[in-house]
Amino acid sequence: MASQKSKQFDPVANLHEIEEKFEMFQILNEEGEIVNTDADPKLSDDELVELMRRMVFTRILDQRSISLNRQGRLGFYAPTAGQEASQIASHYALEKEDYILPGYRDVPQIVWHGLPLSKAFLFSRGHFIGNQIPEGVNVLPPQIIIGAQYIQAAGVALGMQKRGKKAVAVTYTGDGGSSQGDFYEGINFAGAFRSPAIFIVQNNQFAISTPRELQTAAKTIAQKGISAGLPSILVDGMDPLAVYVATRDARERAVNGEGPSLIETMCYRYGPHTMAGDDPTRYRTSDTDSKWEKKDPIVRFRKYLEAKGLWNEEKEAEVIENAKEEIKAAVKEADAAPKQKVTELIRNMHDGDLPYNLQEQYEIFKEKESK
Amino acid sequence: MAQMTMIQAITDALRCELKDDENVLVFGEDVGVNGGVFRATEGLQKEFGEDRVFDTPLAESGIGGLTIGLALQGYRPVPEIQFFGFVYEVMDSISGQLARMRYRTGGALGAPVTIRSPFGGGVHTPEMHSDSLEGLVASQPGIKVVVPSTPYDAKGLLISSIRDNDPVVFLEHLKLYRSFREEVPEESYTIPLGKADVKREGTDLSIFAYGAMVHESLKAAEQLEKEEYSVEVVDLRTIQPLDIETIIASVEKTGRAVVVQEAQKQAGIAANVVSEITERAILSLEAPVLRVTAPDTIYPFPQAEAVWLPNAKDIVETAKKVLTF
């Protein structure tokens, strides 16, 4: 009886069959060669150069942010080096009307989406002006609770759908975030409503120190999307072209009313989890580090563009120089932000009149702050 | 005017706001075709369509996230959490996210959200359905908490909550849903948040209560009247923020106070009311301010409910201690 049943349906074979289908999607290999000609997005020369410029800028931003943090001139900071293809190439497939719900490592995407860099620095320093999103910039401040942005993305996407917008809600988390209940609820809600959302899991191999293997028995994180009815793909997260194409296609499906998608980008963070005392040598080896550094998104994209005659050392030096200047100006602007007052914080608790307790406390701090 | 139960008044308030403001959305588990497990949303999907009144998958945290995202797209979401005992599942969205939306964005983004949810004991539910967890949300800065005790108040307060530009948790006591009817205007009207209501005037003692305990307090006041005591009953209506003016004015008039809550002694709102009275009106007091509450256990098994819940008799006993101090 039992064996007959298993002939009809073998759940173990079924699992393996599904898992094997999640091969990693790649267009540009480590040597900067197109290995998947059919999938080549055929970006124009200008578009390719702009994508490279943004990735190089973001690498410099990361280096400067780390050094500013070490000098005590920046606060909370989560390094991004290694994740440029995942972050910048996915963002490159978006439009201004799309809405980004970032995790705390996803500051570059919201900056490229229009958040002034000075505000990103003020967020890091712990000033509310950093979170005052300018009108027309469709982003939230970085989310601290891992996974909370996933359920909110389902809501933004449903709202866009109800408004009849041709736009998507895009949210990011990591391999660790894919273990949270909110991850499942977010993809499930968006799937159930067929809302225009893109859920990106940047699988950078470690949730602080916990390796990907300990997060889940699932062979890939991408396959989790299948259970909620989402088209899902595992992408080489160090390959800017593959990430771009996966996001572009997900966006196209979403705005065409075909619902949400899940993208897992296989990548690596070179730096520590954050600059607040994390020491990666406690949980990973330099062998692993160098294995991933060989896959570097900027190195392979540079090779690709150089072969096409679109990039050279001079050009890169110019981008780096401009990045440094822009960062310097943004730091200066952040320095000029007025000192925060508790009276302002109290004022920001509610719209309209303050309740009695806050009104009384407002008066107390007004007195204190006048001295 | 029509005679309405509290549940009908709530449905009526939702209907008024769905009609008045196209950005109002009503959603949750079973609120669509089924009209909600208590019929709070009866007929609303039929009247306003599936785009405005809709069912969600069964996940409270997901409902919380959906609410936040819809608010970010300019909607005025009115989600239902099927029972407030399930609030732990959606606690991050309420206390972690909604409460700080305006604050963390320096006023750039708001969250005009009203979370409706039934709670309260005396109707023999399974566990996690009756708990009085209002203290949890009321202790979170950034959230207003409203608990009506009558059909008339429920409608006016719910309309005000929905129109408020900040998050409100609106708690509906299960026992009051159909316990009595009263006249409720069919047109739209508001009752301001943060305003208590003197449900009965008196000169010897002030009883402060909210939700079902307002009715137990009124019963107690009637019994005490037979013994020649004039008792004032103040319905707090909004428990965060409190209506400090009405509370203090009442204590200054009577000189004696009892605070009643259905929640456990360590859990609710009463301690806050007592603190405010002692900070602001100690010289008006003729006696210590005492509390009538449930004991500090987990919410009881249904068969022990009747003894566990505070009632008019308990209130009379405590009131007499204060009156004869």
pLDDT digits (tens, 9 = 90+) for B127-184: 999 999 999 999 999 999 999 999 999 999 999 999 999 999 999 999 999 999 999 9
- Specify whether the CB–CB gap between B211 and B130 falls below 8 A: no
Interchain CB distance below 8 Å, A158 and B68: no
Residues B274, B278, B284: CA angle, nearest 5 degrees: 120
Interchain contact B70–A (C-beta under 8 A): yes
Interchain CB distance below 8 Å, B69 and A159: yes
- Å between A182 CA and nearest CA of chain B: 7
Q: Is the pLDDT of residue A2 over 90?
A: no
Domains of chain A, start order: 19-32+39-337 (3.40.50.970), 341-371 (no CATH)
Of residues A220, A143, A147, A102, the one with CA closest to residue B59 = A147
pLDDT digits (tens, 9 = 90+) for A218-259: 999 999 999 999 999 999 999 999 999 999 999 999 999 999
pLDDT band, very low/low/confident/very high, at A4 (cuts 50, 70, 90): low
Mean pLDDT across A7-18: 90
Closest B-chain CA to A340: B106
Of residues A18, A28, A12, the one with CA closest to residue A308 = A28
Of residues A287, A319, A261, the one with CA closest to residue A90 = A261
- CA-based radius of gyration for chain A: 22
Q: What ipTM was predicted for this assembly?
A: 0.96
**B299: DSSP letter:** P
- Å between B141 CA and nearest CA of chain A: 8
Mean pLDDT across A24-32: 98
- Rounded Cα distance between A219 and B102, Å, is 40
Say which of B62, B71, B102 has its CB closest to residue A154. Answer: B62
Interchain CB distance below 8 Å, A131 and B105: yes
pLDDT digits (tens, 9 = 90+) for B36-76: 999 999 999 999 999 999 999 999 999 999 999 999 999 99
Interchain CB distance below 8 Å, A133 and B104: no
Instruction: Report if pTM > 0.95.
Output: yes
- Å between B37 CA and nearest CA of chain A: 21
